[in-house]
C-alpha cells in the first residue's frame, strides 16, 4: 500500500478560537490554562491539521482502497490469471517462446514467473520503450496449451495489475508523476508529529473530559471522540508514517543514507561474473524497480530462453522452494541469471540467487534467514504497511486504521468549524505561544525544528509556511490591542 500518509493522535485541527455564538469564550491562551509549551503544541497541532490534514485524508482514503482491493483485482483479471486447462505443463522455454511469437522480436525479455500451481497461468514479462519506471509488459501464457490469455502492463516486484496500479499511483503521487510525490511525503512527514502532539493534548485534557462527560455540549463531545479515536490508532499512525517515509523522495534519501552509515542495508546478490555492478535486492523494490530501457537492446547469448528450465532446476536444488518465483535473464554477457522468491506473506520467502549460465552454479545468494534483524524488520514493516504480510487479517487491520484516520480528520475539521472564531475576535497564534516558552524550551524547540527540517525537508518547508501565516496573523492582532482575546 503505495502509499504510501492527526487527531488526538492524527493530523487534525484539534483546537481553534471559540465562536461567541457557540461556546462561551474562555480566558487564557489555552483551554483550561496550562503552560506555554502546552499552548505551543496546541497551536502547532491545529496548523498541521488545518493545512496538512487534506493531504493526509487523501493518503488515508487511497491507501485504504489499495489494501482492500487484491481480491477485486483477482476477480477482474480472472481470465488472464487462471486457466481451466488440465494436463502436464510445457517447458518454461516453450512458454517464453509462445510469448515471444505473440509480442514480436523487439522487446527485451525481462523476467518469467512460472505458474504458481495448477489452474494458474504463467507470466512472461518484457521491457520495451514507453513504459514507466517499475513497469513491464506481461504476457499471460497457459502453461498447458501455450495459449495467450492476456497482455497487460504490470508494476513493481509484486506484479501489481492495472486496476491496483492506478490506485497505487493515486496513493503515491495523485497521478501527477514525480511532482505529485511531494503530497504523500508531506503527509507522511507530519503524520507522526501530529500523532504525538495529539497524544500529549489528550493526556493533558483527559481529566477535564472525564469531569464533564455527563454534561458535554456538542463541541466537547466532538473533541472527545476525536481525541479517543486518535489515541486508539496513534501507534498505527506512527508506524504508517515511518514506513511510508522510506518510499519518499527527500526524506527517503536521508533514511537510506542513515541506513548505509550504520550498516542496516538489506543484503543483495552480485550479478557480476567478473568485475561489475551489484544487483540490488532491496525491500523497497515494490516502488523502485528496474526501469524499462528507452531502447530495447539485443539479448546476450547467455540470456537464451532455452536456459530457463535449467536455471529453474538449479534454483530448486539450491533451496528456492517457494511457488512464487521470478527468473530474470542477464542484460549483458558478463552477468548471471537472477532467480528470486517474491512471496512476502508469512512466513516470508524472498531468497535470491545469482546463477552462472556457463557452469550452472550459484555464484551469489541472499537468503532471508540470514538477514540482520533490522533488515528483516524493515521487510516485514513495509509488507505490513501494504497489507500483504498476514493476508486478510493484515488487510482488515490496515483498512480499519485507514478508516480510523479518516474519522479523526473529519472530526478534527468539525471541531474547527464548531469552535471557529467569531468575526473580529483576536486570533490565537503560534507566536504568542512561543513567547510564553522559557528560554531553554525555546532553544530545544529551535534545535528540534532545525533537525527535523534537515531530516524531513518538507517538514522544514511547510513549517516555514506555517510561521509566515502565523506571523501575519500575530502582526494583525497586535494592531487591534483593544479587542478581547477569543
Kindly state whether residues 192 and 325 are assigned to the same domain. Answer: no
CA–CA separation, 260 vs 254, rounded Å?
A: 10
CA–CA separation, 216 vs 394, rounded Å?
A: 37
In a domain, 265, yes or no: no
Pairwise pLDDT comparison (299 vs 284), residue with the higher score: 299
Mean pLDDT computed over 429-456? 93
Kindly state whether residues 312 and 231 are assigned to the same domain. Answer: no
In a domain, 57, yes or no: yes
Q: Is residue 405 predicted with pLDDT exceeding 50?
A: yes
Q: Domain total for the chain?
A: 3
Mean pLDDT computed over 424-434? 81
CA–CA separation, 281 vs 225, rounded Å?
A: 44
pLDDT class for 184, splitting at 50, 70, 90?
very high
Choosing from 343, 365, 385, the residue where a domain stops is: 385
Q: What percentage of the chain has pLDDT greater than the value 70?
A: 84
In a domain, 260, yes or no: no
pLDDT at 299: 78
Mean pLDDT computed over 299-315? 91
pLDDT at 32: 37
Q: Is residue 477 predicted with pLDDT exceeding 90?
A: no
Domain with 442, as residue range(s), is 36-69+176-248+392-478
pLDDT at 13: 43
Of the candidate ranges 4-13, 74-83, 433-442, 458-467, the one whose mean pLDDT is the lowest: 4-13
Kindly state whether residues 64 and 187 are assigned to the same domain. Answer: yes
Are 14 and 202 spatial neighbours (Cβ–Cβ below 8 Å)?
no
In a domain, 22, yes or no: no
Q: Is residue 29 predicted with pLDDT exceeding 60?
A: no
In a domain, 257, yes or no: no
* Per-residue H/E/C for the chain: CCCCCCCCCCCCCCCCCCCCCCCCCCCCCCCCCCCHHHHHHHHHHHHHHHHHHHHHHHHHHHHHHHHHCHHHHHHHCHHHHECCCCCCCCCHHHHHHHHHHHHCCCCEEEEEECCCCCCECEEEEEECCCCCCCEEEEEEECCCCCCEEEEEEEECCCCECHHHHHHHHHHHHCCCCCCCHHHHHHHHHHHHHHHHHHHHHHHHHHHHHHHCHHHCCHHHHHHHHHHHHHHHHHHHHHHHHHHHHCCCCHHHHHHHHHHHHHCCCCCCEECECCCCCEECCCCCCCCCCCCCCCCCCCCCHHHCHHHHHHHHHHHHHCCCCCCCEEEECCCCCCECEEEEECECCCCCECCEEEEECCCCEEEEEECHHHCCHHHHHHHHHHHHHCCCCCCHHHHHHHHHHHHHHHHHHHHHHHHHHHCCCCCCCECCCHHHHHHCCCHHHHHHHHHHHHHHHHHCHHHHHHHHHHHHHHHHHHHHHHCCCCCCEC
Query: Rounded to two decimals, what is the model's pTM?
Result: 0.85
CA–CA separation, 175 vs 165, rounded Å?
A: 11
Mean pLDDT computed over 89-101? 98
Kindly state whether residues 110 and 201 are assigned to the same domain. Answer: no
Q: Is residue 153 predicted with pLDDT exceeding 50?
A: yes
pLDDT at 459: 96
Mean pLDDT computed over 334-362? 97
In a domain, 143, yes or no: yes
Kindly state whether residues 221 and 312 are assigned to the same domain. Answer: no
Backbone phi, then psi, for 221, in 5-degree steps? -65, -40
Choosing from 173, 198, 215, the residue where a domain stops is: 173
Q: Is residue 482 predicted with pLDDT exceeding 60?
A: no
Kindly state whether residues 281 and 372 are assigned to the same domain. Answer: yes
Kindly state whether residues 327 and 449 are assigned to the same domain. Answer: no
In a domain, 204, yes or no: yes
CA atoms within 13 A on the CB side of 143: 22
Kindly state whether residues 219 and 352 are assigned to the same domain. Answer: no
Question: Closest by alpha carbon to 108, among 348, 295, 338?
Answer: 295
Pairwise pLDDT comparison (416 vs 293), residue with the higher score: 416
Mean per-residue pLDDT of the chain = 86
pLDDT at 287: 45
Choosing from 110, 142, 173, the residue where a domain stops is: 173
Mean pLDDT computed over 85-89? 95
Kindly state whether residues 223 and 363 are assigned to the same domain. Answer: no
pLDDT at 481: 56
pLDDT class for 289, splitting at 50, 70, 90?
very low
Kindly state whether residues 83 and 159 are assigned to the same domain. Answer: yes
Are 437 and 36 spatial neighbours (Cβ–Cβ below 8 Å)?
yes
Mean pLDDT computed over 412-440? 84
In a domain, 233, yes or no: yes
CA–CA separation, 344 vs 394, rounded Å?
A: 12
Total Cβ atoms within 10 A of residue 298 = 9
Kindly state whether residues 60 and 156 are assigned to the same domain. Answer: no
Pairwise pLDDT comparison (305 vs 289), residue with the higher score: 305
Kindly state whether residues 168 and 43 are assigned to the same domain. Answer: no
Amino acid at each position: 500500500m503505495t502509499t504510501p500518509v492527526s487527531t488526538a493522535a492524527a493530523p487534525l485541527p484539534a483546537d481553534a478560537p471559540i465562536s461567541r455564538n457557540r461556546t462561551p469564550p474562555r480566558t487564557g491562551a489555552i483551554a483550561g490554562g496550562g503552560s506555554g509549551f502546552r499552548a505551543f503544541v496546541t497551536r502547532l497541532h491545529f496548523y498541521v491539521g488545518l493545512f496538512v490534514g487534506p493531504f493526509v485524508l487523501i493518503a488515508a482514503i487511497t491507501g485504504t482502497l489499495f489494501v482492500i482491493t487484491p481480491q477485486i483485482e483477482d476477480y477482474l483479471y480472472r481470465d488472464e490469471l487462471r486457466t481451466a486447462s488440465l494436463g502436464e505443463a510445457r517447458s518454461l522455454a516453450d512458454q517464453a517462446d509462445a510469448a515471444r511469437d505473440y509480442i514480436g522480436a523487439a522487446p527485451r525479455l525481462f523476467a518469467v514467473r512460472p505458474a504458481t500451481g495448477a489452474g494458474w497461468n504463467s507470466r512472461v514479462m518484457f521491457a520495451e520503450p514507453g513504459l514507466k519506471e517499475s513497469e513491464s509488459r506481461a504476457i499471460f501464457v497457459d502453461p498447458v496449451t501455450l495459449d495467450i490469455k492476456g497482455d497487460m502492463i504490470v508494476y513493481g516486484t509484486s506484479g501489481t495489475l492495472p486496476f491496483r496500479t492506478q490506485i497505487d499511483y493515486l496513493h503515491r503521487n495523485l497521478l501527477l508523476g514525480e511532482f505529485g510525490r511531494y503530497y504523500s511525503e508531506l503527509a507522511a512527514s507530519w503524520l507522526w508529529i501530529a500523532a504525538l502532539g495529539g497524544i500529549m493534548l489528550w493526556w493533558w485534557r483527559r481529566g477535564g473530559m472525564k469531569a464533564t462527560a455527563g454534561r458535554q455540549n456538542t463541541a466537547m463531545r466532538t473533541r472527545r471522540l476525536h481525541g479517543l479515536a486518535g489515541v486508539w490508532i496513534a501507534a498505527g499512525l506512527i508506524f504508517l508514517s515511518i514506513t511510508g517515509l522510506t518510499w519518499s523522495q527527500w526524506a527517503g534519501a536521508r533514511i537510506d543514507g542513515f541506513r548505509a552509515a550504520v550498516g542496516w542495508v538489506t543484503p543483495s546478490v552480485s550479478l557480476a561474473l567478473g568485475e561489475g555492478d551489484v544487483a540490488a535486492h532491496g525491500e523497497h523494490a515494490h516502488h523502485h524497480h528496474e526501469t524499462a530501457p528507452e531502447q530495447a537492446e539485443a539479448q546476450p547469448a547467455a540470456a537464451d530462453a532455452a536456459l530457463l528450465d535449467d536455471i529453474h532446476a538449479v534454483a530448486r536444488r539450491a533451496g528456492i522452494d517457494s511457488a512464487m518465483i521470478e527468473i530474470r535473464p542477464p542484460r549483458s554477457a558478463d552477468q548471471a541469471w537472477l532467480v528470486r522468491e517474491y512471496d512476502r506473506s508469512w512466513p516470508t520467502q524472498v531468497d535470491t540467487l545469482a546463477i552462472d549460465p556457463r557452469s550452472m552454479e550459484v555464484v551469489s545468494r541472499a537468503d532471508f534467514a540470514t538477514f540482520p534483524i533490522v533488515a528483516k524488520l524493515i521487510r516485514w514493516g513495509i509488507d505490513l504497511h501494504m497489507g500483504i504480510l498476514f493476508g486478510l487479517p493484515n488487510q482488515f487491520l490496515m483498512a480499519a486504521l485507514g478508516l480510523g484516520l479518516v474519522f479523526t480528520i473529519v472530526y478534527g475539521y468539525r471541531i474547527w468549524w464548531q469552535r471557529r472564531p467569531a468575526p473580529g475576535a483576536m486570533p490565537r497564534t503560534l507566536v504568542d505561544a512561543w513567547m510564553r516558552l522559557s528560554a531553554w524550551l525555546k532553544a530545544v524547540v529551535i534545535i528540534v525544528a532545525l533537525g527535523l527540517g534537515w531530516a524531513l525537508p518538507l517538514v522544514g518547508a511547510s513549517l516555514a509556511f506555517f510561521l509566515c501565516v502565523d506571523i501575519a496573523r500575530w502582526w494583525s492582532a497586535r494592531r487591534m490591542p483593544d479587542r478581547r482575546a477569543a
